[in-house]
Structure 1
Amino acid sequence: MIHTDTNASVSGKVPMLKNEDWWAVWLGLFIFVLGLGPIFGADLLGWVVKVTTWTDISKSFGPMSKAYKETMSGPASLFLTYLFMLVLTTIGAKAMGASVKRFAIGFTTIFVITILCMIVGENAYIAASPDKQAKLGISWSMGLGEMGFIIAMIVGLVIGNFFPKVANYLEEAAKPEWFIKTGIVILGAAIGVKTLGALGLASTVIIRGICAVVEAYLIYWPVVYFISRKYFKFTPEWAAPLASGISICGVSAAIATGGAIRSRPIVPVILSAVIIVFVAVEMLILPWLGQTFLYEEPMVAGAWMGLAVKSDGGAVASGAITDSMIRAKALKETGVKYEEGWMLMAATTTKVFIDIFIGVWAFILAIIWSVFKLNEKGGKSSAGERGRVSASEIWDRFPKFVIGFALTFILLLIWGLNDPGIVKAAKTGTDHANGFRTLFFALCFFSIGLITNVRKLWDAGMGRIVAVYTICLFGFILWVGLFISWIFYHGILPPIVG
């Protein structure tokens, strides 16, 4: 079975051209720059393929941009996206010492399998959220958004554990940390645009949203970390990404934290699989609870969705469902007709500031792990050893992708604040660039499965992970989030129609 130390390329003083972290930054920034095209009137990435939720498989993928959809077929978009990513990653792989031929063949195989997994995962009966069922013409769905990632990981596990010769050949192109870190650099721009959009919303909601997020996560993270370490005996390598995944923003936070503290790449991916399942459960339960008990406090219900549901898509979908359900019940029970969209706005705004917190927290944890040198067994350096940590050592150990994430976020935020006229075009461009982020994430999940020994996966404590998540989520996170939402949004009502 394959065992790859994907952190080896970023540990210690590695030349920049052979450093996986720096290549993640460069590729991410290059895609980010191309994504700025619409600001200058040029759609440079609208051709990137997007896999969409489907009932007719012939319509399962196509170009992201409406303009390109008129002139480019889905297969052409897919091939162009593949070629673009192949060229970029091959350049980086060659610089880092990989065999070009073997990498290209491996990447091609991984890309094709991953796309097929994403298409299967976006089947309407698997992926559609409840608010999209009517539009898609279906009466039920599992509501498992991003299930394509999990299918990709499962297929990777099957190949890695049952077809070792194939896995060994593909290993040259299985670069999970490189893929995920590149995706996170691109993600920074998308969050920057979200922030600009939030600044145009009602100031009361924004201010209260910021306060609610800070209050919640100063409580959530340390408590989850403590429970994981004290009662379930997880090492810091597992406890920190688990705490971030439950506390901050699900998949992205778990992955960013794993990179910041130099955990093995399998750690955040296993956590991500658990998170996605729990998001589906939350989407079924929380909107119903909001309608039943909070129809007289609609903004509290909206903010609660943003604080509680641990994925962007899940939180926004839950906010939309809650908005619709509460407006219907309020009209029936009290005769009050609330203006549409305000509960969704509360959920979305809260989620935006949670996303921003990902980069802040990853930066903080990277410094802590560098200075205290927390190891896999849970120990840490002595006071004397900590005193000898130099600034250069912290820099060598610091994950450079965090810099790329912060750079794309800050550049767009400052630009948009100084020139609000670019925001709409910037959103279009970052949406297109974010298409690559989704693909890099999916490639990471498949690659993790490919290099993982499934017996060690269970030995790592999957049952304990589910137990920690269940206890923390249903034991206090949901209810603390509800209490904080009540503190900041109690008594604030949406505008009334008529």
Structure 2
Amino acid sequence: MSSQVKKIDWSSLWKKEDWWALWIGLLIFILSLPGYYNTYILGWVPRVAAPWLNPLKSIVVIGQALTMTKAYVGLNPVISVFLFYLFLLTILTIAAWLMGHNVSRFMAGFTIMFTLTFVLWWLFGYAYLNATPDQYAKLHITWSIPVGSDGILIYLLLVGLIISNVVFYRKLPAVFEIGARTEWYIKTAIVLLGALIGATSLKYITLAVTLVERSLIAIIAAYLIYWPIAYLLSYKVFKLDIKWAATLASGVSICGVSAAIATAAAIGAPSVIPATVSSIIVLFAVVELVILPFAASSLLKWAPYAAGAWMGLSVKTDGAAAASGALADALISAQPGLSTYKGWILSTAVINKVFIDIWIGLWAFILAVIWLTRIEKKPGERVPAIQIWFRFPKFVLGYLATWLLLWGVGFTVGAVSAAKLMTGGITPQTELFRFFFFALTFMSIGLTTRFKTLKEIKAGRMVVSYMVSLIIIILIALGLSIAFFSNLSPPT
């Protein structure tokens, strides 16, 4: 025990990406907190107003979109983008320097990454390239490639793959590899995800007690039913390595990309595993978004709440789950006699997804303990408790902190008023950074993924395993949704 304690190196607090994801995520979160009092320190950040049709209105300054402030009215969106770049470049470069990276090379690599990611985010935000059918009437269009906002991540991934495997098919320039810090970006995004979960759960927890109570089934479904099935299928049937199987099981069962990354960190999986699984998750989430809402509008028009629950229990990323819920809501509430359900189907989808997301941190801790005390433990070996601390992914602490802090505020001043102020003041700022870090992640995954490597790790077998697990989960989710949500009375 004493020899283990002597090996503790506290310099990891400023030398490891895991910790820097936590520090940067918390910094952005703390800077957003004055938004609760209508003071927007980060109000200058830009957002691509996807789906957009008019290029002149395609980029919005967050502070200008918030009606409670006039501090950023005169800020040009182009200047806003430049300030956004400088802010991220500064904080990330300081972290890179303290971690021992070459500063000039990192600055060059990140500049390329930022430029590629933001330009492509803007380009693929064009309505005809991402709008979902429920948005057609508002946009006055009749068709699009209906992938939704999460579909923009797929575009980024594909462009990255083309650059990596076609444009530079022999060898990717080092400057791209230096800027493509996949795990750092996604871990920072997960810290900020806690703010979204905290604010959203407060918003919906007061919506209807019955919906919230029945949505508790989402926790049981995801962690005690979905996960074991997906894990056993991957490990026993498709013969995937145990770390591949565990990461894939979390991705297909819980919160998609965020759960896969947290699981991989908790069990000590190499970076290629969460990167590959994340790509598969987002790809299939877009497929779910295109198919499931239309299936729900046909199969479950007699049980609208069940349709929403089905979306929340089945679709694996937050954005796609919300988009599928919105689309199912639009399709079902437009039918004769069902207009009273408008908004409630989407709310049911979001509530179920939020209840699943909340427990990512606890699940990462449980898996870290299991891996150290059961899977990796040698016969007769005693595992010191400090090793669990080392293995536990530190960025998950940031996720828990942002979520619990907003919940603490909510239960202090009242959930309804707190949720209103948070979703109107705090989360618009944190959400912009969260989405952009996710965008950087998928750009990075594309740039660092070589088709040759996918062949070597037999990714095809993993895709089939994920697809089979997902189909089984979708069918179980349909049964659970009908069992728990089909007998609810219409909203009044």
1:489 corresponds to = 485
- Distance, in Å, in 2 between the alignment partners of 1:293 and 1:107 is 47
Q: How does 1:4-403 map to 2 (within 5 A)?
A: 13=9, 15=11, 16-51=13-48, 52-65=50-63, 66=65, 67=70, 70-145=73-148, 146-161=150-165, 162-163=167-168, 167-331=173-337, 338-372=340-374, 374=375, 380-385=376-381, 388-403=382-397
- Distance, in Å, in 2 between the alignment partners of 1:150 and 1:25 is 26
Change (3 A) 1:464 1:189: same
SS at match of 1:138: coil
Q: State whether residues 216 and 484 of structure 1, in contact with CA within 8 Å, keep that contact through their aligned partners in structure 2.
A: no
Q: State whether residues 190 and 431 of structure 1, in contact with CA within 8 Å, keep that contact through their aligned partners in structure 2.
A: no
How far did 1:257 drift? 2.1
Kindly report the root-mean-square deviation, in angstroms, between the aligned alpha carbons of the 2 structures: 2.3
Which of residues 446, 451, 458 is equivalent to 1:454? Answer: 451
1:7 corresponds to = none
How far did 1:90 drift? 0.7
Q: State whether residues 363 and 402 of structure 1, in contact with CA within 8 Å, keep that contact through their aligned partners in structure 2.
A: no
Q: State whether residues 121 and 151 of structure 1, in contact with CA within 8 Å, keep that contact through their aligned partners in structure 2.
A: yes
SS at match of 2:60: strand
Q: State whether residues 155 and 446 of structure 1, in contact with CA within 8 Å, keep that contact through their aligned partners in structure 2.
A: yes
How far did 1:207 drift? 0.7
Deviations 1:369-408 (A, max 9, x none): 2333x5xxxxx433423xx111122222221111111111
- Distance, in Å, in 2 between the alignment partners of 1:170 and 1:328 is 48
Whichever residue aligns with residue 181 of structure 2, its letter is K
- Distance, in Å, in 2 between the alignment partners of 1:325 and 1:148 is 23
1:411 corresponds to = 405
Whichever residue aligns with residue 438 of structure 1, its letter is F
Q: State whether residues 300 and 485 of structure 1, in contact with CA within 8 Å, keep that contact through their aligned partners in structure 2.
A: yes
- Distance, in Å, in 2 between the alignment partners of 1:483 and 1:27 is 42
Of residues 73-82 and 258-267 in structure 1, the stretch that sits farther from structure 2 once superposed is 258-267
Whichever residue aligns with residue 151 of structure 1, its letter is Y
Of residues 164-173 and 337-346 in structure 1, the stretch that sits farther from structure 2 once superposed is 164-173
- Distance, in Å, in 2 between the alignment partners of 1:399 and 1:212 is 24
- Distance, in Å, in 2 between the alignment partners of 1:187 and 1:23 is 16
Change (3 A) 1:249 1:330: farther
How far did 1:461 drift? 2.6
- Distance, in Å, in 1 between the alignment partners of 2:408 and 2:39 is 21
Q: State whether residues 167 and 450 of structure 1, in contact with CA within 8 Å, keep that contact through their aligned partners in structure 2.
A: no
Deviations 1:184-228 (A, max 9, x none): 111111111111112211101001001243234311111001101
- Distance, in Å, in 1 between the alignment partners of 2:71 and 2:473 is 44
1:466 corresponds to = 463
TM-score, length basis structure 2: 0.90
Of residues 322-331 and 403-412 in structure 1, the stretch that sits farther from structure 2 once superposed is 322-331
Which of residues 430, 434, 440 is equivalent to 1:433? Answer: 430
1:3 corresponds to = none
Deviations 1:56-78 (A, max 9, x none): 33433232231566322221111
Change (3 A) 1:302 1:102: same
Change (3 A) 1:272 1:121: farther
2:4 corresponds to = none
Whichever residue aligns with residue 443 of structure 1, its letter is L
How far did 1:158 drift? 4.1
List 4+ stretches of structure 1 deviating above 6 A.
none
Whichever residue aligns with residue 243 of structure 1, its letter is A
SS at match of 2:380: helix
- Distance, in Å, in 2 between the alignment partners of 1:349 and 1:406 is 18
Of residues 394-403 and 56-65 in structure 1, the stretch that sits farther from structure 2 once superposed is 56-65
Change (3 A) 1:319 1:207: same
- Distance, in Å, in 2 between the alignment partners of 1:206 and 1:141 is 35
How far did 1:165 drift? 6.9
Whichever residue aligns with residue 402 of structure 2, its letter is T
- Distance, in Å, in 1 between the alignment partners of 2:476 and 2:132 is 25
Deviations 1:145-166 (A, max 9, x none): 3233233333434444554776
- Distance, in Å, in 1 between the alignment partners of 2:172 and 2:453 is 20
* Percentage of identical aligned residues: 44
How far did 1:139 drift? 1.4
Deviations 1:26-64 (A, max 9, x none): 111110101101123311112212122223334332322
- Distance, in Å, in 1 between the alignment partners of 2:296 and 2:151 is 26
Whichever residue aligns with residue 133 of structure 1, its letter is Y
How far did 1:471 drift? 1.5
- Distance, in Å, in 2 between the alignment partners of 1:173 and 1:207 is 45
Of residues 101-110 and 64-73 in structure 1, the stretch that sits farther from structure 2 once superposed is 64-73
Q: State whether residues 218 and 353 of structure 2, in contact with CA within 8 Å, keep that contact through their aligned partners in structure 1.
A: no
SS at match of 2:143: coil
- Distance, in Å, in 1 between the alignment partners of 2:57 and 2:461 is 40
